[in-house]
Amino acid sequence: MHSSCEFLSAEDRLRSLSANRKYPKDKYFSHLLQSTWASYYYKQNQYEPAIKHLKQALDNASDKAQKQRYTYLLAQLYQKQKQFTESNKYFKRVIKLNPNYEMSFNAKVNLASNFQGGKGSQDLIKALNKMTRDEKNTEFLDQIYYALGNIEQSKGDMDKAIGYYQLSAQKSVSNNHQKGLSYLVLADHFFAKPNYTLSQAYYDSAYNALDEDYPSYKDLEIKTQNLNKLVENLNIVSHQDSLQRIAAMNSKERDALIAELIKRVRDEEERLKSEEQEGRDRFSQFQRSQRGGMNQDQGGSWYFYNQASLSQGLAEFSMRWGRRKLEDNWRRSNKREVLDPNAQMAQSQDTTGMPLKILDNKSREFYLQDLPTNDSLMAISHKLIQEAMFKVGEVYEKDLKDYPEAIKAYEELGIRYPKGEYTLQGYYNLYQISRFLQKPSDEEKYKQIIISRFPTSAYALMLSNPSYVQNLEKEDKEREAYYQNTFNLFSKGDFAQASKLATEGIEKYKGTDVESKLKFIKAQCMGSRGDISGYKIALTEIVDNYPNTEIAISATDIIRFIEQRELQLATVQKTPEGDSQVAEQEMSISDIFVKPDGEHLFLALVPKGSPINQLRFNLVSFNVDNFIDANLTVSISELTDFVSVIAIEKFKNKDEAMEYYNAIGKEEGIMGAVKPEDYSLVVISRNNYNQFLKDKAIADYLGFFRANYLK
């Protein structure tokens, strides 16, 4: 691909060359300059100026090969513009110039491809059929049959044309581009009929054969994806209907059907084995017939210098593989499967990612495994059918713009599942289609169906009450204004009033779009007041209740930050004067932690990465110097990904533990280089310690410790 800047630069240089008098004005320079101008315009799909300059290049060309090439290019440019008379004139000139075989062949085929009806078709058909019998054209049969298809299509005999296009694709073994063109013309034909199922198969084949630089490749990709989606859902409906029908049979009928299916599988396997053996026999016979002559011709030359060996190798390769394009993964028919390693994996897994059951398709169990033989499986089958039927309607309506087919699909859904999950939406889509097609009687019909059968639905209320939408918009504006007012209070630092309005709004606007945003403001107010525990709980509830939303993503980021800095945040946390809400919450944590009785431990909570062994040594030394008779032990463990615990035990009761706590508090340098704001020292009962290790609620316990030990 070339950028517009590159084209502008090229144009400036070409104009400079054209205007420069120092350059020679002979024919050789002129043909080079004009051919370059032609290439410049051709790459921008500007065919008219390209033709003009190419004609000038042809007039000044002295070399026969250059004349052949420019004449052929002119024929192609006129062909692209659908000026077939001019195109034919230049293709005929190419043939008269007696070029090499391949160029002459392509000129003849393109002459046939340009045929637009009228006289002369029989002569062209006769000439092309003669070309199919020439061994030199074996590699080009795909192009010959494609040209024959174009002639028959121009004559209006589409049945014959289809046969030729199919032959073209079949004979194309090394020219993926031609194979793709043959599939594409078949796909376009069946799409126009419309026969979407058949066209899908041809579009999919064309998409896999053509390269990404093919013109309109992106459009082809989109159409292929839409048709794949359509056929996939049509197949789901058909498959589930078949399963339900078989499940409804009595066991005798079902077993007879399965036995017949197994017989067909075995017969097909036998047929394929027989064909494979015949192929091996022919190949062995070919090898034996060639071996004698090859041994005589080989002499002492190396394989790749020996033409007889090379010819033998090419013949064997063609018999085994056919004619293949020289490229990576040439054995694979579908390159996209090679490029996408997940493609095959997806086929061997179900929607949960678990491997599918792979059973022998000649066993009875293989055909029984998916049958909906009980009420719950039958309900799942019906759900799959409903969803697929609705998606079929959507593809017809939104992707293919085939409104008659969309109407059929949605109406069939409504008839088959009058109270189904997708039926209301299907009828509303029918109402919208009728409005778009300006069919007032149908519009009224679907409107009445929605109002009578789904009277409490939003669609029914909207259709029966002209001001319903205006009322909804008014309510939306009211909710948004309420949220904005609450947010402004929070932004100004009035956390108490913002929290109050958020709490009231959560109840008032429950189930609306502002509920999650008001909950987020309420959580932020908790964090702003220093209520780390409540802040984290509120954010977690937002993540759980509103997954995959922007607000949940923001809440997740904040939770992660709190977890990383919870120890530091909780250490500096103090209850603001007059903020009874936080104080009450610290006391209410007794619901989590029990009254501090019995055996106690002392804990030093430090950030992970602290000099833990040095801290342990400091504490052991302190114990030896000050509490030698207490027989204390020091242990280290990880509480979270970000916090380590140094535990000293054991103390008989709360008082002994607090005595130790107060002594440690007076010991300067006991925590070494760890900053005071980065660690916390607490005592804790054995029961509460077990709960603490389970919940890892640092902020909760520090609040409990302040409320029950320091006051």
Joined together, the tokens standing for residue 542 give 């937002």
Between the ranges 267-281, 282-296, 601-615, where is the mean pLDDT highest?
601-615
Which residues lie below 8 Å from residue 391, measured CB to CB, with a gap of 6+? 229, 233
* 502-534 core/surface letters (b: 16 or more CB in 10 A; e: else): bbebbeebeeeebbbbbbbbbbbbbbebbbbbb
More confident residue, 399 or 570: 399
> Using one digit for the tens of pLDDT, what is the confidence trace for 492-542?
989 999 999 999 999 999 999 999 999 999 999 988 877 777 888 899 999
pLDDT over 90 (residue 595): no
Question: Residue 249 — φ and ψ, nearest 5°?
Answer: -70, 155
Lowest mean pLDDT segment, chosen from 87-101, 315-329, 585-599, 663-677: 315-329
Q: What is the mean pLDDT of residues 570-585?
A: 50
What confidence score (pLDDT) does residue 5 get?
62
Residue 650, preceding bond cis, omega within 30 degrees? yes
**Secondary structure of 616-660 as H, E, C letters:** HHHHHHHHHHHCHHHCCEEEEEECCCCEEEEEEEEECCHHHHHHH
Say if residues 427 and 449 touch (Cβ distance below 8 Å): yes
Lowest mean pLDDT segment, chosen from 124-128, 457-461, 576-580, 616-620: 576-580
pLDDT over 80 (residue 477): yes
Q: Could you tell me the fold of the domain covering 597-709?
A: Alpha-Beta Plaits (3.30.70)
pLDDT over 60 (residue 587): no
Between the ranges 121-125, 422-426, 462-466, 556-560, where is the mean pLDDT highest?
422-426
Confidence of residue 350 (pLDDT cuts 50, 70, 90): low
Return mean pLDDT, the chain.
84
Residues 460, 449: Cα–Cα separation, whole Å: 9
Confidence of residue 2 (pLDDT cuts 50, 70, 90): low
Q: What percent of the chain has pLDDT over 70?
A: 82
> Using one digit for the tens of pLDDT, what is the confidence trace for 89-134?
999 999 999 999 889 888 988 888 887 766 667 888 888 999 999 8
546-552-558-563 Cα dihedral, nearest 10 degrees = 60
Among candidate residues 57, 59, 61, 120, the one with its CA nearest the CA of residue 85:
120
Confidence of residue 339 (pLDDT cuts 50, 70, 90): very low
pLDDT over 90 (residue 168): yes
CATH 1.25.40.10 matches 375-465 = yes
Residues 168, 145: Cα–Cα separation, whole Å: 5
Confidence of residue 342 (pLDDT cuts 50, 70, 90): very low
What confidence score (pLDDT) does residue 221 get?
96
Domains 375-465 and 470-581 share a fold: yes
Q: Which residues pair with 382 in a beta bridge?
A: none
What confidence score (pLDDT) does residue 109 get?
87
Q: Could you tell me the fold of the domain covering 470-581?
A: 1.25.40
Confidence of residue 570 (pLDDT cuts 50, 70, 90): low
Confidence of residue 578 (pLDDT cuts 50, 70, 90): very low
Among candidate residues 446, 399, 394, the one with its CA nearest the CA of residue 424:
446
Break the chain down into helix, strand, coil percent, rounded to 5. 70, 5, 25
Check residue 303 and report its DSSP letter.
Answer: G
- Burial (CB count <10 Å: 0-12, 13-18, 19+), residue 280: exposed
Residues 292, 301: Cα–Cα separation, whole Å: 17
What confidence score (pLDDT) does residue 301 get?
41
More confident residue, 703 or 344: 703
Q: pTM for this structure? A: 0.62
Say if residues 88 and 111 touch (Cβ distance below 8 Å): yes
Domain coordinates in residue numbering, the chain? 375-465, 470-581, 597-709
What confidence score (pLDDT) does residue 254 get?
92
Between the ranges 11-20, 30-39, 583-592, where is the mean pLDDT highest?
30-39
More confident residue, 608 or 586: 608
Confidence of residue 377 (pLDDT cuts 50, 70, 90): very high
Residues 447, 428: Cα–Cα separation, whole Å: 8
Any alpha helices (H) in 210-250, and if so which ranges? 217-247
More confident residue, 529 or 543: 543
What confidence score (pLDDT) does residue 155 get?
87
Q: What percent of the chain has pLDDT over 90?
A: 53
What confidence score (pLDDT) does residue 290 get?
56
Angle at 173 between CA 170 and CA 175, to 5 degrees: 110
Q: What is the mean pLDDT of residues 450-456?
A: 96
pLDDT over 70 (residue 268): yes
Lowest mean pLDDT segment, chosen from 76-85, 373-382, 590-599: 590-599
pLDDT over 50 (residue 302): no
What confidence score (pLDDT) does residue 277 get?
82
> Using one digit for the tens of pLDDT, what is the confidence trace for 175-197?
999 999 999 999 999 999 999 99
> Using one digit for the tens of pLDDT, what is the confidence trace for 235-255?
999 999 999 999 999 999 999
Joined together, the tokens standing for residue 335 give 């390159």
